[in-house]
Amino acid sequence: MSADTPIFAIAVAAELAGMHPQTLRQYDRIGLVVPGRTRGGSRRYSQRDIAQLREVAQLSSEGVSLPAIARLLDLEDEVRTLRRRVVELEGELREERSSRPGVRVFAAGTTGSVMAVPSGRRIRRSTEVVLWRPWLGGPDHGDALADDPDDSAR
């Protein structure tokens, strides 16, 4: 079961969050913490919803306005989504690296086309070409971008 699975009825969620059920209804109406719904329309709160309700209570007690809290929650959701995407992209990059051993240099032409160039191969300067070696030395040498003067177009 995930943290997003809606399982708690409003009375249980209110007790877990330390709030009155009417407060949860109000937060739902204004879109602050919106629970899942059953087929019959009853609210069902997830563990993540409970955590958000607690966070809302904490921020509210510190004097933060409800619109500001809503914005903070939106930004937290966005960060969570972006972190998931970064993990996905890192996985894709690992797969790509493992499927192309020895290929670490890329050439880009004036039209924007990009091609992988095996290490040690030189490109003739018949067109404008820029070479990049984005992961010098592999993942154990860090992720810093660097230009290698030995790989400049000739």
Which DSSP string corresponds to 116-135?
EEETT----TTS--EEEBTT
pLDDT at res. 109:
67
pLDDT at res. 12:
97
* Residue 9: exposure state from Cβ atoms within 10 A (0-12, 13-18, ≥19): middle
Domains annotated on the chain, with CATH: 10-95 (1.10.1660.10), 102-151 (no CATH)
pLDDT at res. 22:
97
Question: What per-residue string of b and e applies to 59-94 under the rule 16 or more CB within 10 Å gives b?
Answer: beeeeeeeeebbeebeeeeeeeeeeeeeeeeeeeee
Distance, in Å, from the CA atom of 15 to the CA atom of 35, rounded to the nearest integer, reads 15
Please report which confidence band the pLDDT of residue 152 belongs to, taking 50, 70 and 90 as the band edges: very low
Are the C-beta atoms of 10 and 47 separated by less than 8 Å? no
Taking the CA atoms of 98, 102, 105 and 110 in sequence, report the sign of the dihedral they define: negative
pLDDT at res. 127:
54
Reduced 3-state DSSP string for 62-78: CCCCHHHHHHHHHHHHH
**Residues of the chain with pLDDT > 70: what percent?**
66
Are the C-beta atoms of 108 and 114 separated by less than 8 Å? yes
Helix (H, G, I), strand (E, B) or coil at 103: strand
pLDDT at res. 154:
39
Other beta carbons less than 10 A from residue 129's beta carbon: 17
Could you read off the pLDDT of 7-58 as tens digits, one per residue? Answer: 999 999 999 999 999 999 999 999 999 999 999 999 999 999 999 999 999 9
pLDDT at res. 85:
96
Helix (H, G, I), strand (E, B) or coil at 34: coil
Could you read off the pLDDT of 104-140 as tens digits, one per residue? Answer: 566 666 677 776 666 666 666 555 555 555 554 554 4
The answer, yes or no, to whether residue 86 has pLDDT greater than 60, is yes
Q: Work out the average pLDDT over 54-81.
A: 94
